[in-house]
Structure 1
């Protein structure tokens, strides 16, 4: 056995660098976060060959004092904290004092820095952790950090890097997140000599989204805001049409720091339940500000994972903020037109004046508007030397500037030298020779009682004074039914196309959900009890969670030592729920997935409402259709069925006239 000995400093630094510098993206992250901590308002990042050959970060921050430049490259040297107690109040993005030493240990580094009050700055060079040059030079205010030949002295680490294009893509993705995290900072990102994007640093989060994701995303976002005594949540969320097949477009920031959090993802996705299809995920850029003592960012060297002291409070803030923004929005998709394609493309509504009128407000309620946002003061928890977050930090000065669709167009033109203006593509539907006739004859199987027997759910009963004499406009015209599935409704200069199955399914779903929340779930006694074999562990779980099963509508009793007899099941929408659902709930409990019980309940309700609703190809009368519209539009969310499919879409008169080349 070899003798135990202490490693030299050079070897220690190379080993420790592996925790901080995993790949070129890690270098960019550490350097840009240092620039932000240095109060830079303008940051330029340039990379070559995926950041393996070159990474250059230039900022206009406060710079490093000349007598502290060498100290900055020593391990655990930092200006962010002075004791362990400071970790509970840390607001800066960096605080470990490991980044510069780790980067310099595995690459060739050149640093130029100058403070504003100094006449000259300082330049140093470090290669593989060893300083090779140090001198005073003339240079601009701020700091320029140049890294070349990453892992040149650690070939084993370099061999495990991905291709240069893949490494460059990781850097690009993180630069997007940094730009969204700090809309008050002007970013310029250059890759292999080509400018990828720039941001203006005008505090407008929507402008940052425009620069990164384009006009469609900037136009179709909703302002989100929630504030309590301990937390402030603000940002922009996408309308349901901006859904993706993965979670890469869900962005979360804690006190200006980008993080990954299953808790926050769950809160956002729960708020979008029944608004997006299963397997689709919403677009969101949410900033949370809270007392640093309530969140632990010292979990991992990358600082991407955090721990919350009160996770339930965090969940509620995000869920309530997103839910409120979605409730206050009008989410009717619009069928746009363009020459060429045969299939109609559903595009989000941009101009909503007519839709706003059609979906008239039902009662007085507090709304979050740009003006009301100004009334909220950000949570006061920062130290005196740190500027607190504010609405203007993300949304600019609302008194003097509001981001409207027109201002987005103007802003985009000003940035035309950076990226090409996107064209709004539209699709067309080929005209048909078939005529749409009035369908007056009622269907015997689905008479008007099919809708009249469905009362308004308790939660949507109008108890407060309406803002207008009529809850719904009365001057819309039912044109008729097409394909025995869709209803055409004319209102002013638009035609609304309603899917009768999706609309009825939403009405029935809301009805039972209201009954469930009010603990008024109807049950049905089984003529022959259903016997289910269980294990001793499952029997224990059933006894512990008997109240949960009762709330869901199940009544059971022990039937011997290894079986239970299910005597009552939920009676949902005139149909008993299958006892098999009882087993599904028990399986979830067995695998410690209690958080999925609510989801399981929702899935069961969705399934039953889908079965009970009128189907495609069921012909119903105009009177039945009018009743269905009244029930649908009385809901908080009339825009989608429980599966996330739209219940109605809009087609404007202008769209139709474009089809026939009138304009």
Structure 2
């Protein structure tokens, strides 16, 4: 068919392109395009059907990225023989009966479009056997029309083969990515549903090679170990709590561990994998001040909410949802996950052998490793200072190395946050106000950040000619040059990217003790005491660790005492 542009008919009575209904085959193609975008869409729809059928085992095989073949086998309740052809009719479903059912959807599928959309763009062979029958029925549908049907021996459940996706729609096929990229998209779908349903055993085969298998034990950590790895599964923090009728369950990474991509964040609403931009942003807010810039947590979270409180009928692909009360869901997510992190996350633990080699210890400090080891900091006894950088302390379970600058940053940052939340920033008034002469660039920064600077303790008054009068500075900067402090903060604001209060983080950084400062024993004890009182003592506002622990057992093994 030629895509050559045709002249547009003039808008006048009697023109030669009147409004008319589209032919059924065109309607089918348009509808299929909304549901089936790529092979991963086929896998998603068929896996959701299997889950709705109560399957305990779901196996998927794809060839050539799913372009040549997608095969899904499950052990669910099956389809009655007389309903097999009806399953391919658009808007035919067993999951809805009335308009009122749309307000209380408890299944993953409900629109009755999956098989109709798939069969409009591919050849589909569907075989199914309910457990009470001895044989299964099967039907082959090609591009929306039944080709053949019959009976066959098979185990209870449903078996679907989808061949030659978009073969008759070359325009659609050319927009697919490479087979490798399409296979990765299929793997992502399978991984997410394996994490959402740990009680179901999932298996995925790519071009005859086993790619994924989960045990279906019902234990989320075991599913995570199968999808990612056992070490990651072991370090994740358990999340299980409720707030205002919204329950949040799952696993998240402790502050000492993070990734360079958000692809390790899997969010589900009532068991439905959702691609919602709002929820990941809410989760990032939970980790404010805990992660470095452009780093992301690992999270597998299921948000359970009464079905009447969420609209899943937003898009044909059912990948987006709309909440009746967005704020309640966000509040529950923040409170439940934050409480889990406060309760369980601890300082990174490094192996002494690795620390002597250097590589693993450095990785832990960068946040690529780390393990939650306790609920809070134990009582620490200060031993001394190393290189005017680290405070050495002894705990009941080993030796602690505390980064004096990062630890003081955390202490001051939380102190500033408390003042800001109370709207009472502690000020140090200047005996003589200072005139701040600015360059055009500095003037623009002050104008951009003026309200924030004032809220954090910089009392600035605009003068004619672009100058400002500085009357006070934050109290934690007392003793430092007021103008130098202001300009240092202004210089750092565009550079620092923290998941939290950027101005507070920059002020805390400039007010904290420096690397190279010699601390007295009393100052070290006070630093350790105040760090133990911090809400999040294990990282600085920029996400770097404040301390690491070398366990007593590790020390004993190194010196041959165990």
Settle same-fold status: TM greater than 0.5.
yes
Q: Distance in 1 between matches of 2:528 and 2:438?
A: 43
Equivalent position to 1:527, from 433, 444, 448: 433
Retained in 1: the 8 A contact 2:225–2:233? yes
Retained in 2: the 8 A contact 1:572–1:605? no
Retained in 2: the 8 A contact 1:572–1:608? no
User: After superposition, what is the alpha-carbon deviation per residue over 1:328-372, rounded to whole angstroms, capped at 9, x for unaligned?
Assistant: 1242111225579543425556584xx56x834xxxxxxxxxxxx
Q: Distance in 1 between matches of 2:91 and 2:471?
A: 65
User: After superposition, what is the alpha-carbon deviation per residue over 1:393-439, rounded to whole angstroms, capped at 9, x for unaligned?
Assistant: xxxxxxxxxxxxxxxxxxxxxxxxxxxxxxxxxxxxxxxxxxxxxxx
Q: Distance in 2 between matches of 1:548 and 1:616?
A: 28
Aligned residue in 1 for 2:5:
none
Equivalent position to 1:176, from 188, 191, 195: 191
Equivalent position to 2:377, from 340, 359, 363: 359
Q: Compared with structure 1, are the counterparts of its residues 95 and 148 closer, same or farther at alpha carbon in structure 2 (3 Å cutoff)? A: same
Alignment of 1:617-628 (within 5 A): 617-628=516-527
Q: Distance in 2 between matches of 1:132 and 1:55?
A: 19
Q: Distance in 2 between matches of 1:49 and 1:661?
A: 55
Q: Distance in 2 between matches of 1:280 and 1:263?
A: 17
Aligned residue in 1 for 2:151:
136
The secondary structure found in structure 2 opposite 1:335 is: coil
How many correspondences in the alignment?
Answer: 528
Q: Distance in 2 between matches of 1:557 and 1:605?
A: 20
Q: Distance in 2 between matches of 1:242 and 1:584?
A: 26
Retained in 1: the 8 A contact 2:288–2:498? no
Aligned residue in 2 for 1:507:
411
Residue 26 of structure 1 pairs with residue 26 of structure 2: no
User: After superposition, what is the alpha-carbon deviation per residue over 1:610-651, rounded to whole angstroms, capped at 9, x for unaligned?
Assistant: 111111111222232122111111222211111111111011
Aligned residue in 1 for 2:32:
17
Q: Distance in 2 between matches of 1:123 and 1:150?
A: 20
Retained in 1: the 8 A contact 2:289–2:541? yes
Q: Compared with structure 1, are the counterparts of its residues 250 and 658 closer, same or farther at alpha carbon in structure 2 (3 Å cutoff)? A: same
Aligned residue in 1 for 2:359:
343
Q: Shift of residue 7 of structure 1?
A: 3.5
Aligned residue in 1 for 2:106:
91
The secondary structure found in structure 2 opposite 1:573 is: helix
Residue 243 of structure 1 pairs with residue 149 of structure 2: no
Residue 225 of structure 1 pairs with residue 248 of structure 2: no
Alignment of 1:16-55 (within 5 A): 16-55=31-70
The secondary structure found in structure 1 opposite 2:177 is: coil
Q: Distance in 2 between matches of 1:584 and 1:309?
A: 40
Q: Compared with structure 1, are the counterparts of its residues 143 and 566 closer, same or farther at alpha carbon in structure 2 (3 Å cutoff)? A: farther
Equivalent position to 2:511, from 612, 631, 653: 612
Q: Shift of residue 310 of structure 1?
A: 0.9
The secondary structure found in structure 2 opposite 1:515 is: helix
Equivalent position to 1:68, from 61, 65, 83: 83
The secondary structure found in structure 1 opposite 2:300 is: strand
Retained in 2: the 8 A contact 1:182–1:256? yes
Q: Shift of residue 547 of structure 1?
A: 9.5
Alignment of 1:244-323 (within 5 A): 244-323=259-338
The normalised TM-score by structure 1 is: 0.73
Residue 485 of structure 1 pairs with residue 384 of structure 2: no
Q: Shift of residue 554 of structure 1?
A: 6.4
Retained in 2: the 8 A contact 1:41–1:201? yes
Using the TM superposition, name which of 266-275 and 22-31 deviates more: 266-275
Aligned residue in 1 for 2:13:
none
Q: Distance in 1 between matches of 2:489 and 2:510?
A: 16
User: After superposition, what is the alpha-carbon deviation per residue over 1:462-485, rounded to whole angstroms, capped at 9, x for unaligned?
Assistant: xxxxxxxxxx35xx350x322221
Aligned residue in 1 for 2:400:
496
Retained in 1: the 8 A contact 2:433–2:471? no
Aligned residue in 1 for 2:123:
108
Residue 573 of structure 1 pairs with residue 476 of structure 2: yes
Q: Shift of residue 272 of structure 1?
A: 1.2
The secondary structure found in structure 2 opposite 1:318 is: helix
Instruction: Specify every segment of 5 or more residues in structure 2 that has no aligned partner in the other structure, as ranges.
Output: 1-8, 10-15
Q: Distance in 1 between matches of 2:201 and 2:325?
A: 34
Instruction: Specify every segment of 5 or more residues in structure 1 that has no aligned partner in the other structure, as ranges.
Output: 361-471, 588-597
Q: Distance in 1 between matches of 2:404 and 2:459?
A: 35
The secondary structure found in structure 2 opposite 1:207 is: helix
Q: Shift of residue 558 of structure 1?
A: 8.4
Alignment of 1:536-615 (within 5 A): 551-553=455-457, 570-575=473-478, 578=486, 602-615=501-514
Q: Distance in 2 between matches of 1:21 and 1:568?
A: 63
Q: Shift of residue 164 of structure 1?
A: 0.7
Q: Compared with structure 1, are the counterparts of its residues 73 and 267 closer, same or farther at alpha carbon in structure 2 (3 Å cutoff)? A: same
Retained in 2: the 8 A contact 1:226–1:318? no
Q: Distance in 2 between matches of 1:599 and 1:547?
A: 19
Retained in 2: the 8 A contact 1:553–1:568? no
The normalised TM-score by structure 2 is: 0.85
User: After superposition, what is the alpha-carbon deviation per residue over 1:473-505, rounded to whole angstroms, capped at 9, x for unaligned?
Assistant: 5xx350x32222112223345221111111111
